[in-house]
Amino acid sequence: MDNIRNKLLIGGVSNGWNSFSVYGPTIVSKTEGVYLWDNNNKKYIDYCMGWGSHFLGNTPEFAKRAFELAYSKGFGIQYETDFQLLLAQKINQYIPSMEKIRFTNTGTESTMQAIKIARAYTGRDKIVKFEGHFHGVNDYLNFGNDASLLGDKEDGIITSLPGSSGIPKEMSKYIEIIEYNDLETFKKVLSNSDIAGVILEPVCLASAIMYPQDSFLTEIRKLCDMYGIVLIFDEVMSGFRSNLGGAQKDFEINPDITVLSKILGCGFPISAIGGKTEILSVVDPIGDCVISGTNNGRLLNVMGALLALEELEMHPEYYSHLHRLSEYFIKKSNELLIQYGVNGVVKGYAGRIVIHFGTTKLGDNFRSSVSGWDREFHNKMYKYCYENGLYGFLLPLKYCPEPICITPKHTFDDIDQTLEIFENGLKLYCKNNV
């Protein structure tokens, strides 16, 4: 079977990310809630959770209703119905900075379109991004994240290195990369160059966990206003994760444009771009910045997103449970690291948690997040945890660990079992065994 798979599917997978380092792909036979089973019927607790999209579990009840309802109206509807409006109203109710909304399908597509809107609106070409922030694999923004090498840094500005082969060299002319929380360089770049927009994860959750320091977001907001630059929050990962208002509610900053996906559909492939009326009015059919496509606003995905958001709004206890689980995991795992004398630290935001071996001082920029990473110890622990039934737990990226995803559907029992496996791994591999 493996031979046929590898012959036909590139690298044996339909999604490159599913080929985990050390193990390659796990062929999944079924999922239920926060669990999955492989082809040998081995059960795992899932910490990948649809790459952060299955916030309501792998088999949520609302999805059945979405299928039925969409099918009852005509499954393939790609035309306008009342449901796109209902979904837009719901998003705008919780994220009021999204005054005007367009639906797309993926995060990669939406971040690319969001910067196109910024260019169309300002008539300028360049975009600022922060090192280690991931905005999908479109050729404009796939620079300076985990897959690419750490670029040289001169006067705060980082050489733009692409995260994939096949990206034309010229693309790097349109991007300026700086370190997250480096306000001085940000100011310098804004005042010197032809910048259309700045894109960031307000709290970086994709490759490493990086919090905005002190007044960083407030200052960025002020500077964007001062220079007429479009501020774009990529909330593909953070949106609806900590609360219904997104990270922008937690940090009390309104961006000009927000991009949502993942938890927006809780498994249905949908994304949304939204923002200030004046800016979004450049988009077709009002303006001539074209953001349209065969699958945009397809009823099934719109219905899925609508029912997912209704489920989240009907159950505020999901969020309180998630925050409790998240704090519990962080506290207990940090205690275990201390108990076993491991140089490491655990840090997170609303269930998106990184376990970092090699340093206790994880700063809020990519260079400090990757420095001193003990990859060898990490890989041993990763292997142990995988073999003992934890999926997507301690996944190694190129420069740092991939954070895990705890969802409101995980239980304290799941977390205790996970901590037990984690502790057994530490016992096995830790030199200062106690």
Degrees, nearest 5: CA angle 420-423-427 = 135
* Nearest Cα to Cα of residue 430 among 357, 371, 372: 357
Task: For 108, list phi and psi in degrees, rounded to 5.
Answer: -55, -45
Q: How far is the CB of 69 from ligand PMP (least distance, A)?
A: 24
Reported as type and span, the H/E element at residue 249 is helix 247-251
Question: Please, which residue, 66 or 205, has the CB nearer to ligand PMP?
Answer: 205
Tell me the residue nearest to ligand PMP as measured from the CB: 107
- Please choose, from the candidates 399, 406, 395, the residue with its C-alpha nearest in 3D space to the C-alpha of residue 19: 395
Contacts of 5 (CB under 8 A, 6+ apart): 12, 27
Q: In this complex, which beta carbon is closest to ligand PMP, that of residue 135 or of residue 384?
A: 135
Residues that bind ligand PMP (CB under 6 A): 51, 106-108, 111, 134-136, 201, 206, 234, 236-237, 261
Residue whose entry in the numeric block shows the structure tokens 């927000």? 258
Residue 64 Cβ, how far from ligand PMP at the closest point, in Å? 23
CA–CA distance, 30 with 19 (Å, rounded to integer): 18
- Residue 51 vs 328, nearer CB to ligand PMP: 51
**Peptide bond between residue 285 and the one before it cis (omega within 30 degrees of 0):** yes
Residue 357 to residue 8: CA distance in whole angstroms: 38
Least spacing, CB of residue 405 vs ligand PMP, in Å: 11
Task: Give me the least distance between CB of 286 and ligand PMP, in Å please.
Answer: 26
Closest separation in Å from C-beta 15 to ligand PMP = 9
Could you give the C-alpha distances from 141 to 11, 172, 212, 306, 373, in angstroms and in order? 25, 9, 20, 29, 25
User: Taking the complex as a whole, how short is the minimal distance between the CB of residue 226 and ligand PMP, in angstroms?
Assistant: 26
Task: Between 16 and 316, name the residue whose CB sits nearer to ligand PMP.
Answer: 16
Q: Closest CB to ligand PMP among 107 and 401?
A: 107
The CB-of-137 to ligand PMP minimum distance in angstroms stands at: 7
Q: How far is the CB of 63 from ligand PMP (least distance, A)?
A: 18
How many residues are given for the chain?
A: 434
- Chain centre to alpha carbon of residue 209: 10
Nearer Cβ to ligand PMP, position 107 or 348? 107
- Minimal distance in Å, beta carbon 426 to ligand PMP? 29
- To ligand PMP, the closest distance from the beta carbon of 407 in angstroms equals 15
By the 8 A CB rule, do 161 and 91 touch?
no
Collapsing DSSP to helix, strand or coil, 230 comes out as: strand
State which residue, 136 or 246, has the beta carbon closest to ligand PMP: 136
Instruction: Please check whether residue 146 is in contact with residue 397, taking contact to mean a CB–CB distance below 8 angstroms.
Output: yes
CB nearer ligand PMP, residue 58 or residue 104: 104
Between 299-314 and 61-74, two packed helices, what is the crossing angle to 10 degrees? 140
Complex with ligand PMP: residue 261 or 333, whichever CB lies closer: 261
CB-nearer residue toward ligand PMP: 174 or 377: 174
The SS3 call for residue 58 is: coil
Helices (H), 75-211: 82-94, 107-122, 183-192
Closest among 87, 100, 403 to 240, alpha carbons compared: 87
